[in-house]
Structure 1
Amino acid sequence: MDTTSEAYPIVCRHAANTAGRDFVVGDLHGCVDALRYLLREIVFDPACDRLFSVGDLIDRGSQSEQALALLDKPWFFPVLGNHEEALCLVAEGSMRRSAWDALGGDWARSVPDRTLRAYAKRLRTLPLVRVVGSGPRRFNVLHAEFFGDDAMLDVGFFPERVRQQVLWGRELALGSGIVERQAGLSPTYCGHTPMREIGRIGAQIFIDTGAFAATGKLTVTEALTSRAWSVSVEQALLEGASQMSLP
């Protein structure tokens, strides 16, 4: 059972999956057709498998509202990404629409304010971090980056500077972060910074492969294994993904 003691958790803990498999998907960015295809490829079983997400479900791609509908799926476990944060800030009146447009949020221009506020209310319940399992079988999921060990992550109280880094940071991906600051951190899946292929830096495994870009693709990996699957939106559509149903 997935439980949390807070209404708006920073860290949400999940028991190890002893019945099925755990997967992690990179930044979706409204590319739901690519996800449909990949779930078929991995023979995803919603009765026992789980899909964790590193966030950024929305913006840039053409299916942001379909991506938000994934929040209703009992097998789907996302963390908050910086693009969801932008939606919330706009809905709450703390960010200008034009700033969100620059991030790819122009799809929401046609969304009624009432609906946008409802999305924001739902997104504000997402954690910044998900911790799955314990001991050597533990892995973490967050959006951008984290410097510290598991114990620091487990405290569940982040100063604003750390919160911003978890949502927006790129030091590690751009080579300016100190890898040694991740000593004692379990394998941690993240996105935010697009990579050509899945790559690991220190404890962090970067799985955003630019699904929304013309030359990009969406990637799903089976947690704590080397198995990964990727597809471009174009290829997924050629394979009939738009006609595939989600679990």
Structure 2
Amino acid sequence: MDTTSEAYPIVRRHAVNTAGRDFVVGDLHGCVDALRYLLREIVFDPTCDRLFSVGDLIDRGSQSEEALALLDKPWFFPVLGNHEDALCLVAEGAMRRSAWDSLGGGWAQALPDRILRGYARWLRTLPLVRVVGSGARRFNVLHAEFFGDDAALDVGIFTERVRQQLLWGRELALGSGMVERQAGLSPTYCGHTPMREMGRIGAQIFIDTGAFAATGKLTVTEALTPRAWSVSVEQALAEGADQMSLP
């Protein structure tokens, strides 16, 4: 369903899903058991449904490598998060491992460099933005924040400052970003900044609810609807999620 002809575009476009449903999941951070549980709850059909991810698959939780294995799933469509970018920078020699450790990258300490480089090559194929559908049925997926309209997002020519905002920005979440700068931006799902509950600020719908934290949970929402499901890792495990298989 990916309509782009570019190999590794910064902005990747997808047609409207006319056969099934589209879902968006918040920052996984290695909490794959919670995802297993939620996919069962929403009765996810891998033959026609799609799951978009706002990034940050790895770090902090206990299942980072299992989260990376999701990249092989034909129904899974993530964008690059700042934690994936950190892995790539370490593998490329542009960031010290100690800096990544402070972000939760300690799980990779024992990984051979060749494995880390392999993950980095994989992750560098991910876009910064996914655009799904058009008109009233359009939504965008990115990691942190974007100020501009759909047309500016579609061009995909981002300055380094805008790229950093897409991966690290918190102006909107912290109340210092002007929502007026998002006029003309379709509903845009994002993560990065943990929220107590899923909520909307300007054009952006924040769905990171802190899955890795003791009091947090993982949230999945059906795109362009108010429907959402959340579960903590503890609750998911209590329901036997570690014995559930992924589609």
TM-score in same-fold range (> 0.5): yes
Shift of 1:3: 3.3
Q: Does 1:244 align with 2:244?
A: yes
2:75 equivalent in structure 1: 75
Shift of 1:30: 0.1
**Which one-letter code corresponds to 1:237 in the other structure?**
L
Please list, as runs of the form range in 1=range in 2, the aligned pairs for 1:4-15 lying within 5 A after superposition.
4-15=4-15
Shift of 1:156: 1.1
1:50 equivalent in structure 2: 50
1:102 equivalent in structure 2: 102
| In structure 1, C-alpha distance between the alignment counterparts of 2:6 and 2:74, rounded to whole Å | 19
In the superposition, the TM-score normalised over structure 1's length comes to 0.99
Shift of 1:8: 2.3
1:197 equivalent in structure 2: 197
1:131 equivalent in structure 2: 131
Shift of 1:110: 1.0
The DSSP-based 3-state class of the residue aligned with 1:51 is strand
| In structure 1, C-alpha distance between the alignment counterparts of 2:188 and 2:169, rounded to whole Å | 14
2:157 equivalent in structure 1: 157
The DSSP-based 3-state class of the residue aligned with 1:229 is strand
Q: Does 1:3 align with 2:3?
A: yes
1:39 equivalent in structure 2: 39
- In structure 2, stretches of 5+ residues that fail to align are none
**Which one-letter code corresponds to 2:230 in the other structure?**
S
**Which one-letter code corresponds to 1:127 in the other structure?**
P
1:210 equivalent in structure 2: 210
The DSSP-based 3-state class of the residue aligned with 1:110 is coil
Identity, % of aligned pairs? 90
Please list, as runs of the form range in 1=range in 2, the aligned pairs for 1:22-37 lying within 5 A after superposition.
22-37=22-37
The DSSP-based 3-state class of the residue aligned with 1:163 is helix
- In structure 1, stretches of 5+ residues that fail to align are none
The DSSP-based 3-state class of the residue aligned with 2:229 is strand
| In structure 1, C-alpha distance between the alignment counterparts of 2:173 and 2:40, rounded to whole Å | 30
In the superposition, the TM-score normalised over structure 2's length comes to 0.99
| In structure 1, C-alpha distance between the alignment counterparts of 2:123 and 2:7, rounded to whole Å | 12
Shift of 1:195: 0.0
Shift of 1:9: 1.1
| In structure 2, C-alpha distance between the alignment counterparts of 1:224 and 1:199, rounded to whole Å | 13
| In structure 2, C-alpha distance between the alignment counterparts of 1:38 and 1:158, rounded to whole Å | 34
Number of aligned residues: 247
Shift of 1:10: 0.7
2:177 equivalent in structure 1: 177
Q: 1:12-51 deviations in whole A, cap 9, x for unaligned? A: 0000000000000000000000000000000000000000
The DSSP-based 3-state class of the residue aligned with 2:23 is strand
| In structure 2, C-alpha distance between the alignment counterparts of 1:185 and 1:39, rounded to whole Å | 29
> Cα RMSD (Å) of the superposition?
0.5
Q: 1:52-106 deviations in whole A, cap 9, x for unaligned? A: 0000000000000000000000000000000000000000000000000000000
Shift of 1:5: 2.9
| In structure 2, C-alpha distance between the alignment counterparts of 1:8 and 1:82, rounded to whole Å | 18
| In structure 2, C-alpha distance between the alignment counterparts of 1:3 and 1:32, rounded to whole Å | 28
**Which one-letter code corresponds to 1:242 in the other structure?**
D
Q: Does 1:221 align with 2:213?
A: no
